[in-house]
Structure 1
Amino acid sequence: MKKMMIAAAAAAVTAGSVQAGGFERSALPLGFMFEKGNYAELSFGSVSPKVSGVLAPMPSVTTGSVLKDYTTFGFAVKTDINEKLSLGLTVDPTFGADVFYPTGTGFPLAGSSAKLRGETIAAVARYKFNENFSVHGGLRSVGIGGDLFLPAAGNYRAKFGNDRDLGYLIGVAYEKPEIALRVALTYASETKHTLNTSIAGVPMTFDVPVKLPQSLTLDAQTGIAADTLLFGSIRWMDWSVTRLDGPLLPPSVNPLVSYDHDTITYNIGIGRKFSDAFSGAISIGYEKHHGGIVGNLGPTDGQKSIQIGGTYTHQNMKITAGVRYVDIGDAIALRGNSRFTGNKAVAVGMKVGFSF
């Protein structure tokens, strides 16, 4: 039962984090560390957000859709050293943003664009004290970098060079296999970066500091009836520490990225085994709408989502696929001069896992 129902739970999260707090695209996956025996997986996600706004004094002036479609790829592998110790490695597209304000709209930021990229490479170990208790932890190498173009600020163009910092994660888990119960708590540390930044037309570079947030994640699942699993998660991220400034930009433009609030994201779902080969799941997600002013490079505030997915298992291979619809929270940006409402995103994801 445990193996089958964990597969069902995975079906409800494979489409990834769509417009979760800040610019997180994927919570570092650790479920692979709880697979039986040696295991490897490849994951793919495609996200199509539709986020647009209007100029508050002139509702006929619209932004057009400002968030671009994107795809993500991930990889994880785990091996058992002995009955108690397992080692794993994962590559995850944790952070990202793709913003472009279409030209020809008359909106003050028309033509502006920004791109951020940040991936995590993590080496993880898990040690089982017995059938019920285990601890896990490891090191995370987190990278971040990007570029920015602001035509309304004198054709300001900046390139933020990629920088990596070493963080860590640590956690504990309790399991009761006979009822498919697993509760895991994982803490991931903050990372600090200094981005070597060049500005077009300026014969020098600048060191720009930025912090990426710490997080605390509680994952849980339990069997509630024959072949039926209840699962969920609560994830806190310390986004209020993250601020990114553009060198030589006036205070009226900076900060480029900042957040007034931390975020807590909730997910809950139910999974069901339909046959020896197929299981499915449905889940809902929620992130609080805080209100206040947000940055134009991330004009969203909170979310609600629903996702369905399924897992097909054949011999040593399992294929998991899911689709998520996200109602993205309304936001006020550009110091109150633009309002983003009626926004949404659709994400599809697939994961292929192999036991060997």
Structure 2
Amino acid sequence: MKRALGSASILAAIAGGACAGGLDRTGQPIGALFEEGGANGAYVELSFAHTSPDITGTGDGISVATPIGPVDVLSSGFGYNGVGDDFWTFGAAVKMQLTEALSAAVIFDQPYGTDIAYNGSATATELGGTRAFAETNAVTGLLRYAFDPRWSVHGGIRIEAAEGSIGLEGVAYGPFNGYDVDLERDTSLGYSLGYAYEIPELALRVALTYNSKISHDMKTTENGLGAFGLPGDLKTTTEVETPQSINLDMQTGIAANTLLFGSVRWVDWSEFKIDPKYFIGTAREGLVDLDDATTYEIGLAREFTDVWAGSVAVLYEPGEDDVVSPLSPTNGFWAVALGTAYEIGDVTVSGGARYMWLGDAKPETGTPDVIRAEFENNTAFTLGMRIAYNF
């Protein structure tokens, strides 16, 4: 199989898990570790992608109980438009063959993130002004040892930097309307472990990789709890754990110049919490509550000429409970992705596009949950590109 064929299969889903699980953006790829490299056994790549979500919803209104029956505080029907902002993801990797059996790779990715902002007035809509921003950058150093042409193990250290901010605004938040928290950037360590089985003559490879959770102690500033008699600029430290995950990546040749590929990715989002000291002390619950997510992918890549290949893939993440946090107003997805790759000497240029149908969701607030809006028929579109050099 030519380099272009493998590159086309990867680029079918170039943006990884963008929007998956609400926060998953790259899928924590390690494919560079398995690249053969050029004459010196070396390989380098640079990739980037742009995702444009179209996330809209309609407010359900707010009513209160009175002795004569429910009375509307807010009428239903307010339109929440452009709730998810466009975002870029960048990636890079370098792989070196150290000995016949030992290779190493350094991979940069941006595994998790969100950029949510609700339009509307904080005093005249259910959720207007609510916002969430999070960004992570990770560098992973991996070693791979091949016992023979078929069996190998890999593992290494992941250095991750994370930061974020959240603002709760809108009548639906009651006394917490106007609360905001800033979580300063923190850098911490985790690890990855895995193994792979290959049959090179069949282009078959099955690789299983575990990524540990990473615990961040983030300097925190809370504001907007005046309704509880608390001042502003409350300084604390909040422990935030980015989740553990498992990736199963598979590929095999099924005919001349044709590759079947797929993957399964599980992320332990139910253990991801953001519990600032003063907010949890007054609300008696945390800011974020997500369900675990499993994302499936299957696709075909075909070599059309010695230097040109293309691919198509389908991705699916089943939705869980459609009652969700306003900070993550989606619930699973379907996606179709196309990729293509072209070799120019030792350089391979790849491009990909993906269209996602995001699952319907109902943002809620309060305990017990009260649905505040309906989000339906939302989508996201991603374009990406990768340049790789074998030397």
Interval containing the TM-score (normalised by the shorter chain): over 0.9
The equivalent residue for 2:47 is: 43
Distance 2:383 2:322 in 1: 31
The equivalent residue for 1:17 is: 17
Distance 1:39 1:267 in 2: 26
Sequence identity percentage: 37
Deviation digits for residues 262-292 of structure 1 (CA, Å, limit 9, x no counterpart): 1110000000000011100000000111124
Is the Cα contact below 8 Å between 1:133 and 1:172 reproduced in 2? yes
Is the Cα contact below 8 Å between 2:322 and 2:331 reproduced in 1? no
User: Superposition pairs for residues 116-265 of structure 1, below 5 Å?
Assistant: 116-152=134-170, 153-200=176-223, 202-249=232-279, 254-259=285-290, 261-265=291-295
Letter of the aligned partner of 2:46 in structure 1? Answer: L
Distance 1:267 1:253, change over 3 A: farther
| CA deviation after TM superposition for structure 1 residue 163, in Å | 1.6
User: Superposition pairs for residues 329-348 of structure 1, below 5 Å?
Assistant: 329-334=359-364, 335-348=370-383
| CA deviation after TM superposition for structure 1 residue 164, in Å | 2.1
Deviates more, 1:202-211 or 1:280-289: 202-211
Across the aligned residues of Structure 1 and Structure 2, the Cα RMSD in angstroms comes to 1.8
Distance 1:67 1:265 in 2: 20
Count of aligned positions: 355
| CA deviation after TM superposition for structure 1 residue 15, in Å | 3.0
The equivalent residue for 2:69 is: none
Letter of the aligned partner of 1:196 in structure 2? Answer: K
**Structure with the larger strand share:** 1
Distance 2:180 2:76 in 1: 29
| CA deviation after TM superposition for structure 1 residue 89, in Å | 0.6
Is the Cα contact below 8 Å between 1:2 and 1:177 reproduced in 2? no
Deviation digits for residues 85-118 of structure 1 (CA, Å, limit 9, x no counterpart): 1111111111110011113594322122221111
Which of 77, 81, 85 is equivalent to 1:68? 85
Distance 1:310 1:292 in 2: 35
Is the Cα contact below 8 Å between 2:330 and 2:361 reproduced in 1? yes
Aligned-partner SS, 1:249: helix
Is the Cα contact below 8 Å between 1:289 and 1:329 reproduced in 2? yes
Is the Cα contact below 8 Å between 1:16 and 1:45 reproduced in 2? no
Which of 84, 90, 108 is equivalent to 2:126? 108
Is the Cα contact below 8 Å between 1:62 and 1:107 reproduced in 2? no
Distance 1:113 1:171 in 2: 37
- The unaligned stretches of length 5 or more in structure 2 are 62-74, 171-175, 224-230, 365-369
Distance 1:108 1:234, change over 3 A: same
The equivalent residue for 1:312 is: 342
- Normalised to the residue count of structure 1, the TM-score between the two structures is 0.95
Distance 1:76 1:255 in 2: 36
Distance 2:311 2:76 in 1: 41
Distance 1:50 1:59 in 2: 21
- Greater Cα radius of gyration, structure 1 or 2: 2
- The unaligned stretches of length 5 or more in structure 1 are none
The equivalent residue for 1:87 is: 104
Distance 1:113 1:8 in 2: 36
1:55 is the counterpart of 2:59 = yes
Letter of the aligned partner of 1:274 in structure 2? Answer: F
Distance 2:213 2:163 in 1: 16
